[in-house]
Amino acid sequence: MIIYNVTINVDPSIHTEWLSWMKTIQIPQVLATGNFKEAKFSKILIEEDLGGITYSVQYRAHSRESLENYYQNHADNLRLEGLNKFADKTLAFRTELEIIEEFTAIAK
């Protein structure tokens, strides 16, 4: 299983608008591509030297091929939408993670 992780640092001046846009537009649009099974949206609790507020979105891809399809057919347009809307008020970087194994805690 492949996770496509997007980490975004957001300037406080656009934080509220950006957060609403992510929840109601961006994440649903990425999921609507059909390449991902789910998304987890998290706030990073460690303060960044850059300032701002940092978030992570982890999209669980159906497969490596699904992620490649996303890159080839959707990623550029969806990234551009965010850049056009928020310009230099956000800074994002992306990583790919491969799940090796998942573990579940034993209930006490």
Q: What does the DSSP assignment read for the chain?
A: -EEEEEEEEE-GGGHHHHHHHIIIIIHHHHHHTSSEEEEEEEE--SPPTT-SEEEEEEEEES-HHHHHHHIIIIIHHHHHHHHHHHGGGEEEEEEEEE------PPP-
Q: Where does 2-98 sit in CATH, by number?
A: 3.30.70.100
Q: pLDDT digit string (tens) for 33-81? A: 999 999 999 999 987 777 899 999 999 999 999 999 999 999 999 999 9
Q: What is the pTM of this model?
A: 0.91
pLDDT at residue 78 in the model:
95
Q: What percent of the chain has pLDDT over 70?
A: 100
pLDDT at residue 47 in the model:
77
Which residues sit opposite 93 in a β-bridge?
7
| 12 three-class SS | helix
pLDDT at residue 59 in the model:
98
Residue 108 has pLDDT above 90, yes or no: no
